[in-house]
Chain A
Amino acid sequence: MGGDTQAGAENASEERPQNNPLSRKINKILETRLENDKDTLDALKELSTFFTENTLRSRRNLRGEIEKRSVGISEEFVTALREVKEAVDGIYTEVSSMNEVCVDMKRRLQATKSETRHLIHQTNSLQNQSQKLRMQEEVALAFVKTFQLTPEEVLIIKGSSREAPITQEFFTVLDKTQKIRNNTKFLLQTGHQKTALDVMEQMNVCREAGLERLYRWCQSQCRSPDPSPLLTQALAALQERPVLFNLVVEEWVVVRRGWLVRGFLDALTIGGPGGAPRPIELQAHDPLRYVGDMLAWVHQALPSEREAAQTLFAKCSNIDVAEQTRSTVASISESVCRPLKTRIEQMIIVSCVVDPLVNAVNESAAGLGTVESAVYLLNCFHQLHSTLSLLHTTGDKLEMIQGQIDAQLDTLAQEQISGVCHSVGVAGMYPFISHPPPTPLSQNPACQPLAIQSFMTKLDGYLSAPDHLMLPHTRLLLSSSFRRTLHQRTAEALSSIYVKLHSLVHNPMNGYTDPSALLPRDPETVKNLLS
């Protein structure tokens, strides 16, 4: 603006006459069209405000006046500008300080920001860690729950004391140990070999202790007349240890055998409680009733044994329950076999066999002659007698057989004696020897000296070889004692005949002339020779 003003002033000075430029200027001014020059107009307008009188003085002072006014304006301008400048300076200062604060703030923010990032990072990692730990805790809890027993459970399995009874919980825990063992395969599959083996080992130890305790408990239950219902479950559990299982079954059998046989013997000898029913042995005289009662007792006793065994094995899944029951009941019932067998044998091997046998023997002897049938019967009865003597309580039958033996032996002895009597020629004399007639014996035709002489000769022959005169059939006798008896009785009979004849012949009343020549042997000598 100032420039413009200076230019206006220069333009005004150019109006001063100068040669060329002056003319150009005058021209130019002359050519100027003032109504179109706004600046000039404005300047003139301004001029009109203070150039009011066109006097010389005014004209002379015009320039100065204008310059004075311009300086005034410029001074005014400077003053105003100074104020503005001061205000701007103030603003500047404030903005600068603001900027400073901002920069500081920014810097601090920057610092804080970098600091926070670390914290966040830390927090995040801690959070992750905590998450991880929480998960691990869950896993650990799940693991413990899945693969471990609680202390209470361990106590249940191992028992608080040696005598602690087995409870239902025991089996629950035992099942759990099995489940855990099964689950270890997942551990193996997931590569936790060591853990799997450790868990397996723990469970094995636990089960071992548990089964051992279960086994002892079973043993004691077997001896109880009223075993716990848990025994069924116990047996099922013990299947895993065949040795223990079999020991328990063995104990069961041994105990039950004892009871059964004791019960049987009591039923035989004592009878029921208070004596009713009466002892079975009171029927011993009636074989059918006796044997029937004994079998009925056994028949009655076995179903309860079977039922007990069936219950015992009911839950066993590894074995053939029917077969195991059968063999167990068989072993138990076998105990009464001996007492039953001996009694039945005494009753039946005896009555049912001996009577028909004796009948058959007698029947087959029916067609034979006296001697043959006697020898045959003696042989048969001898066999029968020696067999029966091995048995007890066959007294009656033995007496019967002994009676038949005695009878047949008598007959045979009689036949033998009369045979020998005929052979040695004494048969004819015998009636007179045993019942001597009143007349002298020497006059009796049967007892003439010649006959007596011939008897003596034959007797001598007999004495030298007694066996010759024995009935041939007697050699067939199986029993040497029978043969001895026959021999003895024959000798006794012959010797008693000789004694009698000797005394008769030596009796002068009987009129024998030379008794010592007829019967030279002393009766005592004959007796000795015969025996």
Chain B
Amino acid sequence: MADCPHTIGVEFGTRIIEVAGQKIKLQIWDTAGQERFRAVTRSYYRGAAGALMVYDITRRSTYNHLSSWLTDARNLTNPNTVIFLIGNKADLDAQRDVTYEEAKQFAEENGLMFVEASAKTGENVEEAFLETAKKIYQNIQDGSLDLNAAESGVQHKPTQPGRTNLNSDSQPNRDNCSC
């Protein structure tokens, strides 16, 4: 795990999930957390239907950076973009540096969904993506997300009921590293 290399620019993956009987294809963009890639990675906010913002519960500094990441996310996405806050490394509870309650409160204050997860054990990882997709789907259903808007990040395909562009924003630690 120590050798896990930093993400360069962005990494990409797709996943087809089912929400309310509808097949939804998620395009997942894992953006680099390192400062030098900011200019490149900012481009990926704009078209995103959702963003997963990840911090490391064992390193308070990553939690402290959240507001600046959130500012970027808010500025570059449309107001209806679903933002999910994730406290990663839940498996390292002994080394916890940020309490669940504190982060939960921050999430509520900023209108973010929140969950603690572990990329190592896989705990809540699937759920986080699924919840994000569900929320996006809900936004589409109740009309708060306009499919026709150029920047909705959602494409509707006749053959494929829905397709969602998910943006997995990155803190020094992020959630879907499988190494």
Q: A residues bordering B, Cβ < 8 Å?
A: 358-363, 365-370, 373-374, 377, 396, 399-400, 403-404, 406-408, 410-411, 414
Contact = CB atoms under 8 A, between A and B. Distances in A.
A478 B29 CA distance: 25
18 contacts: A359-B9, A362-B10, A366-B36, A366-B40, A370-B39, A373-B39, A374-B43, A403-B12, A403-B27, A403-B29, A403-B165, A404-B10, A406-B47, A407-B29, A407-B43, A407-B44, A407-B47, A410-B43
Contact of B9 (A363, A374, A396, A414): A363
A365 B8 CA distance: 10
B37 A410 contact: no
A360 B36 CA distance: 14
A57 to B, nearest CB: 207
A361 B9 contact: yes
A367 B43 CA distance: 15
A321 to B, nearest CB: 52
A406 B47 CA distance: 8
Given A358-B9, A359-B8, A396-B14, A377 B47 contact: no
B89 interface: no
A368 B39 contact: yes
Q: Considering the complex of A and B, which 7 residue pairs feature the smallest CB-CB distances, nearest first?
A: A362-B9, A400-B12, A411-B43, A407-B43, A359-B8, A366-B36, A410-B46
A369 B43 CA distance: 12
Contacts of A370: 39, 42
Contacts of B9: 358-359, 361-363, 365-366
Nearest to A396: B14
A404 B46 CA distance: 12
Does more than half of chain A's interface fall in helix, strand or loop, or is it mixed? helix
Contacts of B123: none
Contacts of A362: 8-10, 32, 37, 40
Contacts of A358: 9
A411 B12 contact: no
Contacts of B39: 365-366, 368-370, 373
B91 interface: no
Given A403-B27, A407-B46, A365 B40 contact: yes
Given A370-B42, A410-B151, 13 more contacts: A361-B9, A362-B9, A362-B10, A365-B39, A366-B37, A366-B39, A368-B39, A399-B12, A399-B14, A400-B12, A403-B12, A407-B29, A410-B43
Residue from A358, A362, A407 whose CB has the most chain B CB atoms within 10 Å: A407
Contacts of B27: 399, 403
A359 B14 CA distance: 18
A228 B108 CA distance: 84
B94 to A, nearest CB: 35
Does more than half of chain B's interface fall in helix, strand or loop, or is it mixed? mixed
A408 B42 CA distance: 9
Nearest to A362: B9
B14 A411 contact: no
Contacts of B29: 403, 407
Contacts of B14: 396, 399
Contacts of B165: 403
A414 B77 CA distance: 12
Interface in B137-179: 151, 165
A408 B43 contact: yes
Interface in B107-152: 151
Interface string B11-44: 0101000000000000101001000110110111
Residue from B8, B46, B165 whose CB has the most chain A CB atoms within 10 Å: B8
Contacts of A377: 40
A354 to B, nearest CB: 10
A255 to B, nearest CB: 45
Contacts of B43: 374, 407-408, 410-411
A414 B46 contact: yes
A284 to B, nearest CB: 16
Contacts of A399: 12, 14, 27
A411 B27 CA distance: 18
Contacts of B8: 359-360, 362-363
A366 to B, nearest CB: 4
A115 B93 CA distance: 148
Nearest to A372: B39
Contacts of A373: 39-40
Contacts of A404: 10, 12
B176 to A, nearest CB: 15
Nearest to A404: B10
Contacts of B36: 366-367
A410 B151 CA distance: 9
Interface in B37-90: 37, 39-40, 42-44, 46-47
Residue from B9, B36, B40 whose CB has the most chain A CB atoms within 10 Å: B40
A369 B8 CA distance: 17
Residue from A366, A367, A373, A410 whose CB has the most chain B CB atoms within 10 Å: A366
A369 B27 CA distance: 26
A358 B12 CA distance: 11
Contacts of A403: 12, 27, 29, 165
A491 to B, nearest CB: 14
A362 B165 CA distance: 20
Nearest to A374: B43
Contacts of B42: 370, 411
Contacts of B151: 410
Contacts of A363: 8-9
B29 to A, nearest CB: 7
